[in-house]
Amino acid sequence: QSALTQPRSVSGSPGQSVTISCTGTSSDVGAYNYVSWYQQHPGKAPKLMIYDVNKRPSGVPDRFSGSKSGNTASLTISGLQAEDEADYYCCSHVGSYRVIFGGGTKVTVL
Amino acid sequence: QVTLKESGPALVKPTQTLALTCTFSGFSLTTSGMRVSWIRQPPGKALEWLGRIDWDDAKFYSASLQTRLTISKDTSKNQVVLTMTNMDPVDTATYYCARLRGNYEFDYWGQGTLVTVSS
């Protein structure tokens, strides 16, 4: 099973919105509403930002939102802030109790 | 408060077997629905799911690594152990344990432990 496809990098100015795509197949992203997103700052463990496609855990700012269309899930960061600069990974259930991660996207705040 | 922490050797030789321990607190793996996963990240690369163990001792592994992996638990010590055989330099990575919550999301992660495979 190949990793989910994410853009290597996206960038935006403070206050702008950026969207990260996560493309899979009809066997993973397209088949289940079990897509999650993780934020990872350098040298730190990942942090859960979105689960079940569009749900936010307690404590995650509402500037982070998730969606899905067909085989592609997306994470949108609205009102970009300096602390949002990090790597972001999507993750999807692929059946048989397994999950797969995306290749990661580096978000740069200009 | 949920915490997880990985421990084990920082350096292993090729062909050796790696054993890592995840010691956790704030939840119990005897509670229905609780699950712990192992995930790794080679330096500068993406996350890779390795496997998981559930409260009922069910175990699931990455299809590509399942012949080399074993995950077990010691509920009396609140520990989960990952064993990976026949280590290779490509297995050099930071290894994380994480709690699996709800459906398929990881809500708490350990700090990670870097394992280097080199002779």
Contact B60 A100 (CB under 8 A): no
| Minimum Cα–Cα distance from A44: chain B residue | B111
Query: CB-based contact (8 Å) between A103 and chain B?
Result: yes
The half-sphere exposure of B81 on its side-chain side, counting CA atoms within 13 A, is: 11
Coil, strand, or helix at residue A36?
Answer: strand
Confidence of residue A74 (pLDDT cuts 50, 70, 90): very high
Percent of residues, chain B, with pLDDT higher than 70 = 100
CA-to-CA separations, B57 to B29, B62, B79, in angstroms, rounded: 9, 17, 13
Question: Do B96 and A89 meet the contact criterion of CB atoms below 8 Å apart?
Answer: no
For residues B87-102, give the mean pLDDT: 96
pLDDT band at B80 (very low <50, low <70, confident <90, very high): very high
Q: Where are the alpha helices (DSSP H) in A36-101?
A: none
C-beta separation of B107 from A52 below 8 A? no
User: Sign of torsion, CA A40 A41 A44 A48?
Assistant: negative
Judged by a CB distance cut-off of 8 A, whether residue A91 touches chain B is yes
Res B39: pLDDT: 98
Q: Out of B47, B52, B101, whose CB is closest to A101?
A: B47
Closest partner CB to A3 (pick from B39, B46, B63) = B46
Would you say B85 and B66 are in contact if contact means Cβ atoms under 8 Å apart? no
Q: Which long-range contacts (CB under 8 A, 24 or more apart) does A41-45 make?
A: A41/A86, A41/A87, A42/A86, A45/B96, A45/B109, A45/B110, A45/B111, A45/B112
CA distance A59 to A2: 32
Q: Do the Cβ atoms of A47 and B107 come closer than 8 Å?
A: no
Is residue A79 scored above 90 in pLDDT? Answer: yes
Nearest-neighbour CA in chain B from A90: distance (Å): 10
Q: Do A45 and B112 touch (CB under 8 A)?
A: yes
CA distance A2 to chain B (A): 11
Among A87, A97, A101, A106, the residue to mutate for chain B (most B Cβ within 10 A): A97
The band of B102, judged by pLDDT with boundaries at 50, 70 and 90, is confident
| Average pLDDT of span B6-34 | 97
**From the centroid of its chain, how far is CA A64?**
10
Task: For residues A47 and B47, give the distance between their C-alpha atoms in angstroms, rounded to a whole number.
Answer: 12
Candidates B105, B107, B108, B113: best to mutate against A (most CBs of A within 10 A) is B105
Q: B57 in helix, strand or coil?
A: coil
